[in-house]
Every structure is written in C-alpha cells, then in structure tokens.
Amino acid sequence: MSAQGKVISTTKLPPGFIRKGFPRTWYHPRWRLLTWYPRGVLNEVFADQVIEFIEMEERIQEAPFDRYADLSGLTHIRIGIDHIIHTARRRRKVKQPVKMALFADNPMSFGIAHSYAFKERKAAAHWLEVPLKTLECPS
C-alpha cells in the first residue's frame, strides 16, 4: 500500500519478455532481442507492416536490438523478388548494426530467407548470443 492509502499491484509481467504492440512479437530486454512468430500468409502488405513496426521500434528504443523470426507458422509466402530487393535496399540505410536470424523449417520460407535463415534454432540462438529457450514461442 502506498502512503496515500492506494493499493499498489505487485503483479509483474513474467520475467524475460514484454509483450510488444505487434501480433505475436515479444521483446526480451535482457538480450535486447525482439522475437516474432508469424502465422498464415506473408504477403507484401504484411511484410511492409513488419518493416514499419521494426523501424518505429528502432526510433523509440534507447539501444539497437537484435531480431529473430520463426517462419515455421507461415502457410504461404507471396512476395515478389522486386519487393524483396526494395526492402533490402531500404533496410541497408540502418545506422546501427543489428543481428537478424530467421528460422525456416521448409523450402518455401527457406528460399525467401536463404541469406539469413537457420535450419536449426540452436544455430540461431548461437548467432544471436542468447539461450535457446529465449527463441521458443511463449504462447
């Protein structure tokens, strides 16, 4: 209870992650790591929303943060090569270096993410320098 007689909640979010403002994303402050577990279809509009979310987070965070995306929940990827090239050029302008790991468990998602993808979560955790448990989907 505070000095004014108000009850103060001692309930805290579970340690290790804080829910962020984008579906199926979590931020792990200890590791400065944003994890994302998309589901369904990844198309150009959805990809643009993801990039805009990341750029917004980059502007408000005090320090750069690494990223991990588990693409195993995707049923389809509908992104043209021209959109991938445009996005890569857009992201090249980032001022602070960060690590990005994409986990792909099938040829479809691995083909899109081939330059960043990992076939094993263990390899992604090693690359990001975080415990393997950190990359498990909390839900």
Question: pLDDT (tens digit, 9 = 90+) per residue, 9-41?
Answer: 334 444 344 444 677 888 888 888 889 899 999
134 pLDDT more than 50: yes
Number of residues assigned to the chain: 139
The pLDDT of residue 112: 61
| Of 34 and 3, the one with more pLDDT | 34
The Cα 17–Cα 118 span in angstroms is 22
Distance between CA atoms of 134 and 131, rounded to whole angstroms? 6
Q: pLDDT tens-digit profile of 83-120? A: 877 877 777 666 677 788 888 787 766 666 654 555 67
User: Measuring CA to CA, which residue among 38, 39, 40 is closest to residue 53?
Assistant: 38
For residue 131, pLDDT beyond 80: yes
**E strand segments, 3-139:** 18-19, 25-28, 33-36, 40-43, 66-70, 74-78, 100-103, 117-118
Confidence class of residue 59 from pLDDT cuts 50, 70 and 90? confident
- Angle at the Cα of 38 from the Cα atoms of 33 and 41, rounded to 5 degrees: 150
Q: With CA atoms as reference, report the closest residue to 105 among 126, 116, 119.
A: 119
Longest dimension (CA), the chain: 61
